[in-house]
Amino acid sequence: MAYPSRVSGSRPALPAADLARVVVFAAFIAVLGLFPGFAGVAGVAGVAGVPIVLQNVGPILAGVILGWRLGTASVALLLVLTAVGLPLLSGGRNGAAFFGPSGGFLVGWLLSALVAGLVVTRFRSRSLPVLLLACVAGLLADYVIGMPWLGVYIGDVTGGIVQSLVFVPGDLVKIVLAALVASLVHRALPDLRPVRSASSEPRVR
């Protein structure tokens, strides 16, 4: 009896090992949310402020460690779980935060992981300077969405951007630490490298 053969080159959309990495890193970002945030940007007209948190470095780490594809997927998973009501954001916040002044920074996490991962992939290197550059790019990507969002929320785009500058000193410290952590992780676990090898492409037999 002849059995249908598996189509050559076919593979799961997301292999089990990659799926595990996505889930584990989403959990890691959630754990960063256990660290309490500090009062940050106070909007005008009594609008609640955007807290200064450690958690925003998680998406950047996801991108530089897992690569743009898995890193973005891990952030998307976290945000989806948050959107359905799980209190995974710093301070025990849930999906309601998307509609507040910090909503843009949360959405920006997706772009942050994507850009950071693409920079590492582009340079095909896990050296500390490249990782630092990737972390800076990921941070700026988050700012590109988060700062204008805050400005629109408080009714003053320029004011929102200016007020957001309070984040910069602390974020610079965090991305330097993130680059150092990523460098250590890549040395200890080279299989997590975001640059895809030829073996990861579909095989034609």
Domain count, the chain: 1
Q: Does residue 167 lie within any of the structural domains?
A: yes
pLDDT for 204 equals: 40
The bridge status of strand 50-52 relative to strand 38-41 is antiparallel
pLDDT for 194 equals: 52
| Residues 6 or more apart in contact with residue 168 via CB below 8 angstroms | none
Measured distance CA(58)–CA(45) in Å, rounded: 31
Q: Does residue 7 lie within any of the structural domains?
A: no
| Residues 6 or more apart in contact with residue 63 via CB below 8 angstroms | 71, 72, 112, 113, 114, 115, 116, 117, 118, 120, 134, 138, 194
Which CATH number belongs to the domain containing residue 74 in this structure? 1.10.1760.20
**Count of CB atoms situated within 10 Å of the CB of 183:** 18
Nearest residue to 44 via CA among 141, 155, 146, 133? 155
Residue 52 tokens, joined: 């200064």
Q: Does residue 201 lie within any of the structural domains?
A: no
- 57 lies in which domain range? 16-195
Backbone angles phi, psi at 33, to 5 degrees: -70, -10
Q: What is the pLDDT along the chain (205 residues), one digit of tens a residue?
A: 454 444 444 455 668 889 999 999 999 999 999 887 665 544 433 334 577 789 999 999 999 999 999 999 999 999 999 999 999 998 888 989 999 888 999 999 999 999 999 999 999 888 999 999 999 999 999 999 999 999 999 898 898 888 888 889 989 999 999 999 999 999 998 876 554 544 443 444 4
pLDDT for 92 equals: 86
pLDDT for 205 equals: 41
* SS3 (DSSP) at 52: strand
C-alpha pair distances (Å), 143 with each of 33, 87, 164: 19, 23, 9
Strand partners, 52: 38
Q: Does residue 1 lie within any of the structural domains?
A: no
Given a contact cutoff of 8 angstroms between Cβ atoms, the answer to whether 50 and 73 are in contact is: no
| Residues 6 or more apart in contact with residue 179 via CB below 8 angstroms | 64, 128, 131, 132, 134, 135
pLDDT for 8 equals: 47
Q: What is the pTM of this model?
A: 0.82
Q: Does residue 146 lie within any of the structural domains?
A: yes
Q: Does residue 4 lie within any of the structural domains?
A: no
Q: Does residue 202 lie within any of the structural domains?
A: no
In single-letter form, the type of residue at position 114 comes to: L
Q: Does residue 200 lie within any of the structural domains?
A: no
Given a contact cutoff of 8 angstroms between Cβ atoms, the answer to whether 35 and 55 are in contact is: yes
* SS3 (DSSP) at 114: helix
